[in-house]
Chains A and B, each alone.
Chain A
Amino acid sequence: MALRVALKEWKLLLKEKGTFFWLLLMPVLFIVLFGSVFNHLGGSAISLPYLDLDRTQASQSFLDSLAQKSGFKLEAKDAGTLDQQVDRIRNGKQSALLVIPPGFSAAMGAGGGRQASVELYSDASSDTAAAVRAALENVANDLRETKLKAALKAAGASDDESRQALEMPLRIDDKPQNASAAGTIAQVVPGYTVMFVFYIIIPMIRRFLGDKTSGMTARLRTTRMAPLHYLLGMWLAYVVVALVQCAVLLGFGHFAYGLPIGDPAALVILVALLAVCGTGIGLALCMLVRGENQGMAFTQLVTLGGAVLGGLWFPADLMPKAMREISHFIPQYWAQTAFQDILLHGARLADIAAPLAVLAAFAAAGLLVGLLRFRAFMKSATA
């Protein structure tokens, strides 16, 4: 009979479009939106408006070099719009403006200690300005290197001698770990998957309390249905929904953004335990709360509080030490850790035993509370 209850619940869920929005569309939107905000997913470059008042081959060559080195998308503006562009920066509508003044080419070729200059107008509160400045310094260094090479050559140095003379005394060997876009994807996709699995508590509370207040639970008590079958059927329905939800969201991450899957067995067990954990805590709340409003408040606390403390929105390493300590008591943290271990570090089932055990403990605690409170829930359903 539990399966019949679950079947009815699935039929109801399919009729309620709001559930689809909350459980599937919303997290997909969040993944796309925050993936783009944290960049790297879409691959779109930052644009940098510029005014070329010199209009020479040298200024164009400088701009080409900047575009190539920095990856900025350079946007030419009309020469007469300097004041407008600066106003846009002052009003916060634009982060920076590069101006190549007249005489740039002449100053570049003059020598004798004369320096060419460019002007960088920027919004001091924006991070973009620092990135532009760094890129400009990079190009300036290249130009200086070229100039030095020419001077050395003029002084009779060979190419090898020039190269040795210009070689940096310090070399940085950059060895990025978890490189590429996968790092961001592996934060955003599992993060929002875990977060929205816990949002399943909302329809659970609505359905359990809706049945109770409408008199449905009482009516069902007058049928042959065993009360435990009702509990089992309702819970089972949402476990399956959470599994489908995880499959859709992780599948979206995989097919749309190339999210690695890692060890499939480990992933399947993790997703199953996450679904049982989310719905187990949901079941406990359904049995404990006095009304839908109270239920919604607790759900927001569990989902949003858990998302922040569990490191679902940003890596837990970025949090203050005290919060990092607290996060160890949050199931979302363990789910996210296990996901990242599987997706980024190639962890197998045995490697994520600890997070799985914690999730299982939370699930068991939720189910136990739900079970213990169920008798009182049914008894109070007499409307």
Chain B
Amino acid sequence: MNPAIAMDRVVKSYEGKPALKGISLAVREGGCFGLLGPNGAGKSTSMKILTGLLEPDRGAARVFGRDVRRDGAEIRRQIGYVPQAITLYEKLSAYDNLVFFGEMYGVRGGQLKKRIGEVLAQVGLADRAKDAVEKFSGGMKRRVNIAAALLHRPRLIIMDEPTVGIDPQSRNHIFEMIRSLRREGATVLYSTHYMEEVEALCDELAIVDRGEVIAQGELGDVLDRYGARAVYLELQEGGTPPPLPAGFGKPVPKERGWLIETPRPLEALTAWAAACEAGSAGVKRLEIVRPSLESVFLSLTGTSLRDN
């Protein structure tokens, strides 16, 4: 089966400044694929190439097997793009905005009316349909922004940081909506800065930095491949943990205990348990912990600030 999205060594520059340096991605149909990366990494550029807003300088990009350069019109029928910016007409009501976008996607008449009712219910704004968008909170606007991309039942939904600056309730509502869209068979390409969103929603991800994919695969695989395992120790009485034999590294404080990152977590756990017993230190919690996506992300992209 063709992947929903296939980008093969895509290169794109802006006025000679490289934005994508040969990105390759594969997103399976029906999946939710997370695109993670710091500012200016190339996430939005990749999405704009897939939606036809930009043309790649080199390489190939395909959506449902169709080339973005040649088959733009057919691709546009099948995608719903949720841009990072809220692009709605603030003076118009949510309903009028959706009428307009529905018509732009080729949905008309009774079918459009019915579909607007469905998507408004989906985003939890059925009772505010007639209100002007300018009266909405940021979270409500974001939800209408998403609803506008769903009216034509797209097979692929491309979401560029759709939860920026919203309250936890709206974010949660959007998560539920994305899960529901997936259950209906849609493929989702989801770009974000928030690791927990990828962990909560996506089954595959790519970490992009400086125009390159630096890690890609299923979430668990990426964590296993790029994240160092760690051992966490919490003592009953608090205080300093007993030292470990050389070669295991130095424990660092974490929450109410101590953490040591090591490629040999089982050995470290055994050694720490023995050291605690020898020193009569009461152990409250001692366990091997899975690396977080955030630690993987930071270890791969570094901790320096990215302001552009």
Cross-chain contact A222 with B92 (CB below 8 angstroms): no
Q: How far is it, in angstroms, between the C-alpha of A222 and the C-alpha of B52 when the chains are bound?
A: 7
Cross-chain contact B104 with A216 (CB below 8 angstroms): no
In the complex, whether A324 has a CB less than 8 A from a CB of chain B is no
Report A-chain residues with C-beta under 8 Å of the C-beta of B87: 214-216, 218-219
Cross-chain contact A223 with B104 (CB below 8 angstroms): yes
Cross-chain contact A222 with B103 (CB below 8 angstroms): no
The minimal Cβ–Cβ distance linking B259 to chain A, given in whole angstroms, is 43
The minimal Cβ–Cβ distance linking B53 to chain A, given in whole angstroms, is 5
In the complex, whether B89 has a CB less than 8 A from a CB of chain A is yes
Of the candidates A12, A216, A224, A383, the one whose C-beta lies within 8 Å of that of B76 is: A224
Stretch in B78-86, B215-223, B276-284, B292-300 with 4+ CB within 8 Å of A: B78-86
Cross-chain contact A222 with B51 (CB below 8 angstroms): yes
- Given A8-B89, A12-B91; 12 other pairs, CB 8 A cutoff: A8-B100, A15-B92, A214-B87, A221-B52, A222-B53, A222-B76, A222-B79, A223-B104, A224-B106, A225-B104, A382-B54, A383-B85
Report A-chain residues with C-beta under 8 Å of the C-beta of B132: 15
> What 1/0 mask marks residues of chain B from 82 to 112 whose CB sits below 8 Å from any chain A CB?
0111010101100010001101111000000
The 8 A-B pairs with the shortest beta carbon distances in the complex, nearest first, are A15-B91, A223-B104, A215-B85, A222-B81, A4-B103, A222-B51, A219-B87, A225-B104
The minimal Cβ–Cβ distance linking A198 to chain B, given in whole angstroms, is 25
A219 with B91: in contact, given A11-B96, A225-B104 (CB under 8 Å)?
A: no
In the complex, whether A167 has a CB less than 8 A from a CB of chain B is no
In the complex, whether A78 has a CB less than 8 A from a CB of chain B is no
In the complex, whether B73 has a CB less than 8 A from a CB of chain A is yes
Q: How far is it, in angstroms, between the C-alpha of A54 and the C-alpha of B100 when the chains are bound?
A: 80
Q: How far is it, in angstroms, between the C-alpha of A126 and the C-alpha of B104 when the chains are bound?
A: 64
The minimal Cβ–Cβ distance linking B47 to chain A, given in whole angstroms, is 10
A224 with B77: in contact, given A4-B100, A11-B96, A383-B85 (CB under 8 Å)?
A: yes
Q: How far is it, in angstroms, between the C-alpha of A212 and the C-alpha of B257 when the chains are bound?
A: 53
Cross-chain contact A12 with B105 (CB below 8 angstroms): no
Report A-chain residues with C-beta under 8 Å of the C-beta of B96: 8, 11
Total chain B interface residues with beta-carbon distance under 8 A: 25
The minimal Cβ–Cβ distance linking B187 to chain A, given in whole angstroms, is 16
> What 1/0 mask marks residues of chain B from 206 to 245 whose CB sits below 8 Å from any chain A CB?
0000000000000000000000000000000000000000
The minimal Cβ–Cβ distance linking A5 to chain B, given in whole angstroms, is 8
Q: How far is it, in angstroms, between the C-alpha of A227 and the C-alpha of B83 when the chains are bound?
A: 18
Number of A-B contacts (CB under 8 A): 58
In the complex, whether B48 has a CB less than 8 A from a CB of chain A is yes
Report B-chain residues with C-beta under 8 Å of the C-beta of A357: none
Report B-chain residues with C-beta under 8 Å of the C-beta of A1: 103-104
Report B-chain residues with C-beta under 8 Å of the C-beta of A214: 85, 87
Could you tell me which A residues sit within 8 Å of B by CB distance? 1, 4, 8, 11-12, 15-16, 214-216, 218-225, 382-383
Report B-chain residues with C-beta under 8 Å of the C-beta of A15: 91-92, 132
Q: How far is it, in angstroms, between the C-alpha of A90 and the C-alpha of B77 when the chains are bound?
A: 79
Report B-chain residues with C-beta under 8 Å of the C-beta of A221: 51-53
Closest A residue by C-beta to B104: A223
Report B-chain residues with C-beta under 8 Å of the C-beta of A16: 91
Q: How far is it, in angstroms, between the C-alpha of A1 and the C-alpha of B105 when the chains are bound?
A: 10
Q: Which of B76, B100, B132 gathers the greatest number of chain A CB atoms within 10 Å?
A: B100
**11 intermolecular pairs with C-beta atoms under 8 Å apart:** A8-B96, A215-B85, A216-B89, A218-B48, A218-B53, A219-B81, A219-B87, A221-B52, A221-B53, A222-B52, A382-B54
Closest A residue by C-beta to B106: A224
Could you tell me which B residues sit within 8 Å of A by CB distance? 48, 51-54, 73, 76-77, 79, 81, 83-85, 87, 89, 91-92, 96, 100-101, 103-106, 132
The minimal Cβ–Cβ distance linking B147 to chain A, given in whole angstroms, is 13
Q: How far is it, in angstroms, between the C-alpha of A53 and the C-alpha of B74 when the chains are bound?
A: 95
The minimal Cβ–Cβ distance linking B8 to chain A, given in whole angstroms, is 22
Of the candidates B77, B84, B104, the one whose C-beta lies within 8 Å of that of A220 is: B104
Report B-chain residues with C-beta under 8 Å of the C-beta of A215: 83-85, 87
Q: How far is it, in angstroms, between the C-alpha of A15 and the C-alpha of B54 when the chains are bound?
A: 34
Q: Which of B73, B84, B101 gathers the greatest number of chain A CB atoms within 10 Å?
A: B101
The minimal Cβ–Cβ distance linking A104 to chain B, given in whole angstroms, is 70
The minimal Cβ–Cβ distance linking B85 to chain A, given in whole angstroms, is 4
Report B-chain residues with C-beta under 8 Å of the C-beta of A220: 104
Q: How far is it, in angstroms, between the C-alpha of A218 and the C-alpha of B45 when the chains are bound?
A: 13
Closest B residue by C-beta to A216: B87
Report A-chain residues with C-beta under 8 Å of the C-beta of B89: 8, 12, 216
Closest A residue by C-beta to B85: A215
Report B-chain residues with C-beta under 8 Å of the C-beta of A383: 85
Q: How far is it, in angstroms, between the C-alpha of A218 and the C-alpha of B82 when the chains are bound?
A: 11
Cross-chain contact B101 with A223 (CB below 8 angstroms): yes
The minimal Cβ–Cβ distance linking B160 to chain A, given in whole angstroms, is 10
Report A-chain residues with C-beta under 8 Å of the C-beta of B76: 222-224
Q: How far is it, in angstroms, between the C-alpha of A15 and the C-alpha of B27 when the chains are bound?
A: 43
Q: How far is it, in angstroms, between the C-alpha of A15 and the C-alpha of B97 when the chains are bound?
A: 13
Q: How far is it, in angstroms, between the C-alpha of A11 and the C-alpha of B90 when the chains are bound?
A: 12
Closest B residue by C-beta to A4: B103
Of the candidates B77, B84, B92, B104, the one whose C-beta lies within 8 Å of that of A11 is: B92
Closest B residue by C-beta to A13: B91
Q: How far is it, in angstroms, between the C-alpha of A8 and the C-alpha of B91 when the chains are bound?
A: 11
Report A-chain residues with C-beta under 8 Å of the C-beta of B85: 214-215, 383
Of the candidates B53, B91, B103, B105, the one whose C-beta lies within 8 Å of that of A382 is: B53
Q: How far is it, in angstroms, between the C-alpha of A216 and the C-alpha of B81 when the chains are bound?
A: 12
Closest B residue by C-beta to A381: B53
Report A-chain residues with C-beta under 8 Å of the C-beta of B81: 219, 222
Report A-chain residues with C-beta under 8 Å of the C-beta of B79: 222
Cross-chain contact B104 with A4 (CB below 8 angstroms): yes
Closest A residue by C-beta to B100: A8
Of the candidates A4, A11, A218, the one whose C-beta lies within 8 Å of that of B83 is: A218
The minimal Cβ–Cβ distance linking A89 to chain B, given in whole angstroms, is 54
The minimal Cβ–Cβ distance linking B32 to chain A, given in whole angstroms, is 20
The minimal Cβ–Cβ distance linking A183 to chain B, given in whole angstroms, is 43
Report A-chain residues with C-beta under 8 Å of the C-beta of B106: 224
Q: How far is it, in angstroms, between the C-alpha of A1 and the C-alpha of B107 when the chains are bound?
A: 11
Of the candidates B73, B77, B83, B92, the one whose C-beta lies within 8 Å of that of A219 is: B83
Q: How far is it, in angstroms, between the C-alpha of A8 and the C-alpha of B100 when the chains are bound?
A: 7
